[in-house]
Structure formats: C-alpha cells, structure tokens
Amino acid sequence: MAAEITTQSHPLPLQDRVAIVTGGSRGIGKAISLHLASLGAKLVINYNSNSTQADLVVSEINSRSQNHQSESAISVKADVSDPNQVKYLFDAAESAFDSPIYVVVNAAGVMDATYSSISNSSVDEFDKIFAVNTRGAYLCCKEAAKRLKQGGGGRIICLTTSLVAALRPGYGAYTASKAAVEAMVKILAKELKGTKITANCVAPGPIATDLFFEGKSVEMVNKAVEAIPLGRLGRPDDVAPLVGFLASDAGEWVNGQIVRVNGGFV
C-alpha cells in the first residue's frame, strides 16, 4: 500500500503584516505592491493624483487574495509632502486592517523632465523635486519610526537612485534630493537602535517606467542602455524582490544600507 503523502502549508514571509507603499499605483511602486501582496502582506496603496490606477492595483491584489472574506488591499490618497496627509495615511492603514504597520516603503518620487544643467535649471522645479523626494521621505520616515515602534518593530525602505553613485550631468536636483534621503536613512537606522526596526535604501538604476522615459529622447535612452553591462533597461520586477527580501525576517541583518540594483550601471 502506497504511503499517503501529506502536505503542510507554510505561512508566507509577510503573512498578514501591514505594508504601506507610497507611490504604489504605478511603475516600481506598483511592482513592489504586487510583490509584497504575493508574500502575504496587507497593502495600503498610496497615490496622489490617479485614483483609477490605484484602484486597479487594489482590485488585482484583492482578486488574488486567498481570503475572500476581507480585503487584502486598499488605496489611500495622500500628498507625502504634507505632514497632515502623511499622518492621515498612517491612520487609515491602522484603521483599515486593525493591526500595527510593519513595512513602510517610500516609493513616491518625481524627476525633472527637462534634464537641465544646474546653471540652467528652474528654482520651482528644484523646490518641487525636494518637496516630494526629500521632504516626503523625511515625513514618511518620521511617521514610520513612531508607528513601527508602537508595533514592536518593522521595516522602513526608501527608494533612491543609483545616480547618487553615478553623478550624471543633467540630474543635479533629482540626484541631490535622493542623496539627502540616503544620508537621512543611514542616520535613522542608528537612531532606531533597540527598536527592532531596520531602515534601508534601495537605489535602482535606469528602470523602464513612465518616470524614466518622460522627456528623454531615443538617444538618451540608448545611452543609458549602453552604460549597463547587462545591455538592457531594468524592469520594475527586477527591483521588487529585493524590497520583499528587506521587508522579510530574512532581511533583518541588512540595516542602514544603500542597496544599488542597477545591472552594473555603476
């Protein structure tokens, strides 16, 4: 008589842990949201302008969920550069799932589409870039540190850019805005000593998203590809698994780091 084979179901790495992804409705943020959901997380998809895209991501996650009795994802509109709206985002996350927040991924970002030199750049554009990229990351890190402490630990992950290492002309304000975030996150990791919270940056290279292509000529895109030893632009799905690892228990020993995921771009 053949032995009966039994299978045991193992919990997913982020089973029922609440995750906020700012800028989670498109590009790299969307890929991260879908990946964290596949690891069992309950997702709060933050957006600022396009509710339709955010709702589509939420619908995709909820349709895949094994627990059809309750939602596994919601969308929340909030401008990350506004402290009151950031607080509202975190309140909404805690209220929706009646559980402490465990993962905060700050993927919201903007880039100067004109790629001007610093001497020819616009002060208004500089202010806009720093408002979202730097002030937004600061506010999300600040709120995350408070909330995750209350929950007994967690993960803070900020998306920056490999341009901080590459220092390419034409990206002065954008690169500076992300360099500031990298310095801040390294300090934050030390300030969170004893809280069981890790803080890291994931710094993608050129990734084929709307944000990357905006304002670029074919020549500019081809030049970026030529600078990558793997000979192609990255995809959002090249970045998402790294974020998933850092968000999981397996990533606990990675703390205060800038992880560049760029195919050898720098």
Distance, CA of 226 to CA of 233 (rounded, Å) = 9
**Closest Cα to residue 140, out of 155, 151, 123?**
155
pLDDT of residue 9: 59
Q: Quick: pLDDT tens for 34-48.
A: 999 999 999 999 999
- Catalytic (active site) residue 174: yes
pTM: 0.94
Instruction: Please give the backbone phi and psi of residue 112, each rounded to the nearest 5 degrees, phi first.
Output: -70, 115
Residue 59 has pLDDT above 90, yes or no: yes
Domain 18-261 has what CATH class? alpha beta
Q: Quick: pLDDT tens for 237-249.
A: 999 999 999 999 9
DSSP tally for the chain: helices H, then strands E: 10, 7
Maximum Cα–Cα distance across the chain: 81
Average pLDDT over residues 131-145: 98
**Closest Cα to residue 19, out of 203, 237, 247, 185?**
247
Q: Quick: pLDDT tens for 165-184.
A: 999 999 999 999 999 999 99
